[in-house]
Amino acid sequence: MKKAIGYFSVFILSSVAATGFAADWDGVPIPAPAGAGKTWQLQSISDEFNYAASPTFKPTEFNSRWVPSFINSWTGPGDSEFNAGHSYTSGGSLALQSSAKAGTNKIYTGIISSKETFTYPLYLEARVKHTGNTLANAVWMLSADSTQEIDAMESYGSDRAGQEWFDQRMHVSHHVFIRSPFQDYQPKDEGSWVVNPAGGTWRGAMHVYGVHWKDPWNLDYYIDGVKVRTVSGPAMIDPYNFTNGTGINKPLHIIIDVEHQDWRDVRPTAAELADTSKSIMFVDWIRVYKPVTSSATSSSNSVSSSSSSLSNSSSSSATTVIDFANYFDTGKSTASVAGDTYVGFNKSGSGNINYNTAGDWADYLVTLPSDGQYNIEVTTASPMTSGIGAKLSIDGIYVSTTSLAATGGWELYSASTLANNLSIGAGTHTVRIESTGTSAWQWNGDEIRVTKVGSAAVGSPTTPAPVAMIIQAESFSATGGVYDGFKTYSVNGVSAINYNQRGDWADYAINVAADGSYTFNAYVSSPMSGAALEVSVDGVKVLTQAVPNNGSWDSFQKVSSVSKIALTKGAHTIRVTSAGATSSTWEWNADKFELVP
């Protein structure tokens, strides 16, 4: 279960945040010994996935560690096709999805690979819930030349009849290869297939899988803190001397993926791939340790034994300063403005931004060292005499809208306060600044300053209020259907979906802040009579909504559901399906969807 690292709720202009900044793996002992006079030191690749990463956007926390692809241009084994849009976070876990590639026999699968390589001695461990559709799920390590490999876990879960043997076993193994002419050795003994000691399947629950790479000739494997296998010596590691006597000694990338392996004579069915309860591998966390002498201090690629957070901010004892140009994402919430050739904030040099028009926004990471009361200021410049402002949100929750004063020029900067005495918990938060007001052209930005003004203890967390969610129609995690699913296009300055025919669908991963009943708004356009959409939550149909004929494919208008959708706090999958009765199969185009409490 996830531990809260930062909880933010707002009431008017004050908030109450949960204290504590603990790693998700705190309380989970490291089962492998570090060695005499040694202690384990956590490495910075370790990841709790407690950040927002979508199929189309990965934040700094992800990009500093991982790439959403293989370590080279290879696209996967068998019928796999690794797809960057099939990796994202959901409910504080990494999600790696599998889905059918329309019109082909290929299967899109999710993958992430570490940017860094690692060598022995180390201990790697991940908490994983694997798929249930016969595909391989793996946490593994591979050398850059693909000649040495360690598999911490490799599963083939399925509830399909005839697949019980694989479903009840976890594969823990290693490979050594010669690439030309191709030769592959891995142990074939029964001990590499670990039976669940509780009986039955490994599928359906989180388990912790670990490997202790002690040296080139010794590997220990662990499941749920229990050593399940030891592989030692040349006779088990490399009996045919493929490594020329070195054993497994090369630096290895860490890879987490879902894939179809061509030695298996089974494939997931279309229904299994469409069933999100079976088609997504979840990784709660992964941690990697190196042994150091007990008195050693942190090195450049290590962090403390709890958790690590990355930030695009600098700080003094009381003030955290963020350059406006140091955002990790930017965009626009409104229609484009004539003459503005940039979507979102434009980096103009020296840490500043310009070409900022109404509706432009950017997201920033800020790490606060302690609980307390904070003021938030922005330093901006504008010759506009009225109609300029800034809207502030923190961790997806609206805080305030502030009018900004004219400064007399685009480079004459002045500070304005966006919020006073906000009670914010320690940890890493996402701060969004959006330009707002009646003026089309807004302001240039220099700095965002977060200053601690009080050390009063933050009280107990309050019950969060439901908040509105915007789902961009093109930001689906998977799509499919009778006619190949949704396609994306750009029109009138926005991205949207089209080529949508009856029976096509798309899945969207959402994270609901609080229990509540939500109106579903669809921003859609169609020249067809009889068009409709159907909404399902976690595989259960919840509503069908007619889409009116407005005579156009590109004039998006809001259509609201008559009934509300009851949603519980946490991660959910929303599926939107075209479900009308038009005279042809063509249905509707869409810009975005909303869930509004």
- If we measure between CA atoms, which residue out of 216, 214, 222 comes closest to residue 194? 222
Mean pLDDT across the chain, nearest whole number? 87
**What is the CATH class of 469-596?**
mainly beta
In a 3-state reduction of DSSP, which class is residue 235?
helix
- Per-domain residue ranges of the chain: 37-293, 314-454, 469-596
pLDDT band of 300, cuts 50, 70, 90: very low
pLDDT, tens only, 452-483: 888 754 443 344 567 888 999 998 989 999 88
Query: Is 81 a catalytic site residue?
Result: no
Provide the pLDDT for residue 12.
25
What topology is assigned to 37-293 in CATH?
A: Jelly Rolls (2.60.120)
Q: What is the pTM of this model?
A: 0.53
More confident site: 565 or 112 = 112
Query: Is 154 a catalytic site residue?
Result: yes
The rounded Cα 288 to chain-centroid distance in angstroms is 19
DSSP 84: G
CA distance 214 to 216: 7
Provide the pLDDT for residue 464.
59
pLDDT, tens only, 488-534: 988 887 889 999 999 999 999 988 877 788 899 999 999 999 999 99
pLDDT, tens only, 197-208: 888 999 989 999
Residue type, 265: D
CA distance 293 to 204: 39
The encoded tokens of residue 226 equal 């229990």
Provide the pLDDT for residue 319.
82
CA distance 114 to 45: 8
Catalytic pick among 48, 125, 149, 474? 149
pLDDT, tens only, 138-195: 999 999 999 999 999 999 999 999 999 999 999 999 999 999 999 999 999 999 999 9
Contact 76, 84 (CB under 8 A): no
Q: How many residues does the chain have?
A: 597
In this structure, the strands spanning 444-454 and 372-381 are antiparallel
Residue type, 527: P
pLDDT above 80 for 442? yes
pLDDT band of 328, cuts 50, 70, 90: confident
Asked, colleague to colleague, whether 314-454 and 469-596 share their fold, the answer is: yes
CA distance 301 to 45: 8
Catalytic pick among 48, 61, 125, 154? 154
Provide the pLDDT for residue 459.
44
Instruction: Tell me the β-bridge partners of 367.
Output: 428
What topology is assigned to 314-454 in CATH?
A: Jelly Rolls (2.60.120)
Provide the pLDDT for residue 274.
92
The beta-strand segments (E) located in 101-223 are: 107-109, 111-118, 122-129, 136-143, 148-155, 169-179, 182-185, 193-195, 207-215, 218-223
